[in-house]
Structure 1
């Protein structure tokens, strides 16, 4: 099953992804991305201090300004 990491503030996105059959994981710390195929972030905390230490091989989708449906469409297109 496809696992999608979702930042905690995006409960509407999490619900929409689960309704489409995806397994979701709350992103609370860096290690939560392990085993995820894709991650969805709110963009609020994006690289605040100019430091980026997390490494992740999957797609990262910034949900800032997108509806839950738009995020789902972005997830589906990136996983194809």
Structure 2
């Protein structure tokens, strides 16, 4: 299964992903995203300055407004593209 980094604030999504069999890593700092196939973020910390550092080559899913099931559906679809 894919390794997924999830922001701390999204504990309901983390739990749902674990139940689905995903390897979940809690994102506390940028370096936690290294080695993740996907990162799920809340979208609350939008990049206002338009500057960013690439920390992971994985896909990023913004969970703002999505249910845990919708996030899992997106991950399932995207992970099918990787394998």
State whether TM-score is above 0.5. Answer: yes
Partner of 1:3 in structure 2? 3
1:34 positional shift: 1.4
Give how far 1:64 is off.
0.5
Unaligned runs of 5+ in 2: none
Distance 1:31 1:41 in 2: 14
1-structure distance, mates of 2:48, 2:6: 19
Q: Size of the alignment, in residue pairs?
A: 80
Shift in Å at residue 48 of structure 1?
3.1
TM-score norm. by structure 2 comes to: 0.89
CA RMSD of aligned residues (A): 1.1
Q: Residues 10-66 of structure 1, C-alpha deviation per residue, up to 9 Å, x if partnerless?
A: 001001000001110011111101111111000000213322113321110000000
Displaced runs of 4+ in structure 1, greater than 3 A? Answer: none
TM-score (norm 1): 0.92
